[in-house]
Amino acid sequence: MIEWTIGSLIIISAILLIVSVIRTQYTSKAAEERIDLAHISLLEEIKQLKQSIQNLELDYEIIINEAGVQLSNEEKLLKRDVLDLYRRGYSIENIAEAKEVSLQEIENFLAPFINEGSSPNV
């Protein structure tokens, strides 16, 4: 009788072990599939962002060429930084001081971006 009990317990434990291994494999495969789908989705989003950036760069180049504006890289960076600081809420005086440029130069550059009586876009 004890032999039957021990034998049946061994058989039951073996069955439970097999079921556990199969279930673990199924769960890990499902998790891998979810990770793969997320990875593919992320890669597609990155590809779309790269394409958008490339389109913006081409649009920018077209606009600059159409306008006939010739700026050095330093001038482009300065103007980009000035506009960014202004849109983040910095005062014109603080921008001029930070960039070590005259107040008049900053005001002249920002004039097209400043709406009458409105605050900067934050």
Predicted TM-score (pTM) of this structure: 0.54
CA neighbours within 13 Å on the CB side: how many for 68? 0
- Residue 15 above 90 pLDDT? yes
pLDDT at 75: 87
Longest dimension (CA), the chain: 102
| Mean predicted confidence (pLDDT) in 6-12 | 93
25-82, pLDDT tens digit by residue? 888 898 999 999 999 999 999 999 999 999 999 998 888 888 887 878 888 889 899 9
- Residue 122 above 50 pLDDT? no
Contact 102, 96 (CB under 8 A): yes
- Residue 115 above 80 pLDDT? no
